[in-house]
Chain A
Amino acid sequence: MDTLLVPPEALQPTARRPGPLWLLAEVTYRCPLHCAFCYNPVDFAAAGPELSTDDWLSVIRQARAMGAAQFGISGGEPLLRDDIEALVAEARRLGFYTNLITSGVGLTEARLAALKEAGLDHIQLSFQDATREANDLITNTRTFDLKRKVAALTKAAGYPTVINCVLHRSNIDHLDRIIEMAAEIGAEYLELANTQYHGWAFLNREALMPSAAQLAQAEAVTERWRQKLGKKMRILFVTPDYQSKKPKKCMNGWGEVFLSVTPDGLALPCHTARMLPGLDFPDVREHALDWIWHDSPLFNRFRGTAWLPDTCQTCEDKDKDHGGCRCQAYMLTGNPDATDPVCPKSPDHALIETALATAERQHNSHPLIFRDPKASKRLERAF
């Protein structure tokens, strides 16, 4: 009998890192809203043609086979496509938890019924403010009444009601009324997301950034409502990077849990990574998702902590924050390998202090640049 020279464990396939848990399909950059705080790339109008339904179905099947459990459909406004129901049905059949992230525009009763039939688990509805005037101003549309109507419809259809509101200089003082509105609607979750300065939001940063006093007041208001509502409505308050001075482990780590696909088929480790220079973004029509996740240069570029700059290598928090957000580092310093400047230990932290000081001084004098295809073509820039 042959001697077994190879230890049995070596015969097992090499243990691979887990696959993504989250698949986000950004199915279109088209949007009826024109929010000045949108994180989409400013040059979205230059993106290639949108993926077909079959392309998306293939992505969904591959991601589920790799172990992804959460499937989100976002955009732009995903309801501008007429195949959302088909994507949801396939994702749900495969065992995904399905999330539709929408402005509510286009969510008619008929469509809501079709999505329910397809097995949609959850709708996240965005509100931009608590009054018609303020909502319609920042979105540059007349959509407030429609959103209230859609919220009532989704509630009646038995969905968990999740409301998202992006906070900025012009609406943060209305927070008390915003939370009250969410409670009136009967939301189970309210996500209050302070603007992250990517894409259009970076372009409009001076006009959008609240003062420290505004932010402190908003936190106090949130806490008061948490005490009052308890378990009835969970309120998530996402602190802004700039003011918290804490770099965030972006997407819970580059290439660790999250995979996003752009309308034109590029696979990304975070929503905004396509702005980064010198990277080859794999196209889901040309490469298998398994190769993209495990082996592509893009998904390995900032994976783990080995690539971190010296400032971070010697820092005790490097495993907690992985040096912060790559896009933020690039937008602010021009170097995507730099320590995120929001970190006080960053050699570039003065850039943040300057932005914060500007927010204290200014008096709402900056005009907003609204997100629309014309402006996108005219500006010809990523952020």
Chain B
Amino acid sequence: MIPAGACPRINRLFRFQWEPAQQAHVLLYPEGMVKLNQSAGEILKRCDGTRDLPAIVADLEASFNATGLTADVEAFLAMAEEQNWIDWTEA
């Protein structure tokens, strides 16, 4: 369960950046790299430790003219936390 008001942020063990050569967002970590697809990149771009889940979903829905993204974003963030890519600020 995600505590209400908690905000996801990139785990300090990873660096998130745009790679022009890959035309993709990537996560860099000791001696490795994860190449992200577009939706993963767009979600992680918003994981800056200041926005909670509803704020991230609202921003994505506005940017991509979509609705009903909550379940997808939540599922992605659960996976991202399992992979240690993100952690959550205190609520």
Interface size on A, residues (CB 8 A): 20
B66 at the interface (CB under 8 A from A): no
Contact B13 A69 (CB under 8 A): no
Among B15, B19, B22, contact of A121 (Cβ-Cβ < 8 Å): B15
Residues 89-101 of A, flagged 1 when their CB comes within 8 A of B and 0 if not, give 0000001010100
Q: A67-B22, A158-B12, A231-B84 are in contact. Are A124 and B17 (CB under 8 A)?
A: no
A300, chain B: closest CB distance, angstroms: 21
Contact B84 A160 (CB under 8 A): no
Tell me which residues across on chain A come within 8 A of B15, comparing CB atoms: 97, 121
Cβ-closest chain A residue relative to B27: A97
Cβ-closest chain A residue relative to B21: A67
Among B20, B30, B33, contact of A21 (Cβ-Cβ < 8 Å): B33
Among A19, A67, A160, contact of B29 (Cβ-Cβ < 8 Å): A160
A65, chain B: closest CB distance, angstroms: 9
Among A67, A95, A160, contact of B13 (Cβ-Cβ < 8 Å): A160
Most A CB contacts (10 A, CB to CB) among B21, B30, B84 go to B30
* Chain A interface helix/strand/loop/mixed: loop
Cβ-closest chain B residue relative to A122: B30
Among A66, A97, A121, A122, contact of B21 (Cβ-Cβ < 8 Å): A66
Among B20, B28, B84, contact of A97 (Cβ-Cβ < 8 Å): B28
A20, chain B: closest CB distance, angstroms: 10
Chain B interface size range: 10 to 19
Most A CB contacts (10 A, CB to CB) among B12, B13, B19, B26 go to B13
B90 at the interface (CB under 8 A from A): no
Contact B21 A18 (CB under 8 A): yes
A72 at the interface (CB under 8 A from B): yes
- CA A162 to CA B28, docked complex, whole Å: 15
B55, chain A: closest CB distance, angstroms: 27
- CA A70 to CA B33, docked complex, whole Å: 8
Residues 3-47 of B, flagged 1 when their CB comes within 8 A of A and 0 if not, give 000000000110101011110001011111100000000000000
Tell me which residues across on chain A come within 8 A of B22, comparing CB atoms: 67, 69
Cβ-closest chain B residue relative to A123: B30
B77, chain A: closest CB distance, angstroms: 16
- CA A97 to CA B17, docked complex, whole Å: 10
A33, chain B: closest CB distance, angstroms: 21
A188 at the interface (CB under 8 A from B): yes
Contact B21 A99 (CB under 8 A): no
Cβ-closest chain B residue relative to A160: B13
Contact A19 B21 (CB under 8 A): yes
B positions within 8 Å CB-CB of A: 12-13, 15, 17, 19-22, 26, 28-33, 84
4 pairs of A and B residues whose beta carbons are closest in the complex: A67-B21, A97-B28, A122-B30, A160-B13
A positions within 8 Å CB-CB of B: 18-19, 21, 66-67, 69-70, 72, 95, 97, 99, 121-122, 124, 158, 160, 162, 188-189, 231
Query: 22 pairs across A/B with beta carbons < 8 Å?
Result: A66-B21, A67-B19, A69-B21, A70-B28, A70-B32, A70-B33, A72-B31, A97-B15, A97-B33, A99-B31, A121-B15, A121-B28, A121-B30, A122-B29, A122-B30, A124-B30, A160-B12, A160-B30, A162-B30, A188-B13, A189-B30, A231-B84
